[in-house]
Chain A
């Protein structure tokens, strides 16, 4: 099975900051990676799929990049509503696998 590893597990940042989260797959997953945002008590929300394609309605301050085994999620200018936990997920093979999550908190 493919293992997904995110870093960091926790990040503290301020409104307006630029933040980058990294996701590494244990084997090549091409570009088949998604990013989800989850707020406390809510279901995850799809932000980005196919490594860099923004889901409809997601603000353009979110961007994704990468291919193969290394991927990044960047938030260009943090807004108060962005403080949440972010998960990557590989869509290349079964079983689908998620990273352990990166918790983004307000500094």
Chain B
């Protein structure tokens, strides 16, 4: 059974870096794409980017180049970093598997989400 679990600080100061890790169990992170998606309180979903086990990645340009992702295959984990955060980055952050289903990719497994509040 595939399971994902986000972890990291729940409070980040403005201008600092938000860092989250997603621990994956039930499947090797090799050979899959892994995404981060966020949801501000009471609002919709925003895709932040993906990382692949080869190290390739793609990010949402709406984040203005502030996002980075990495993988630790030995620990079966991948991570998100979001620099220079503001209150607008307060959200529940989800990690998800971006799986090829047919010819395209969809988010078929999600973590439970981690609320990160940006506040001084």
Contacts and interface: CB of A to CB of B under 8 A. Distances in A.
26 contacts: A32-B104, A36-B107, A43-B96, A43-B111, A43-B112, A44-B45, A44-B94, A46-B106, A46-B108, A49-B101, A49-B102, A50-B102, A53-B101, A53-B102, A87-B45, A89-B107, A91-B104, A95-B61, A96-B47, A97-B47, A98-B44, A98-B45, A98-B46, A98-B47, A99-B44, A101-B45
Interface string A74-92: 0000000000000101011
B52 interface: no
A59 B117 CA distance: 36
Interface residues of A, number: 25
Interface in B66-120: 94, 96, 101-108, 110-113
Interface of A: 1, 32, 34, 36, 42-46, 49-50, 53, 55, 87, 89, 91-92, 94-101
B113 A95 contact: no
B110 to A, nearest CB: 4
A21 B104 CA distance: 23
A5 B39 CA distance: 17
Contact of A91 (B44, B105, B111): B105
A6 to B, nearest CB: 9
Given A46-B107, A46-B108, A55-B108, A95 B44 contact: no
Interface string B53-65: 0000010111000
Contact of A43 (B44, B60, B105, B110): B110
A91 B113 contact: no
A47 to B, nearest CB: 10
Contacts of A50: 101-104
Nearest to A53: B102
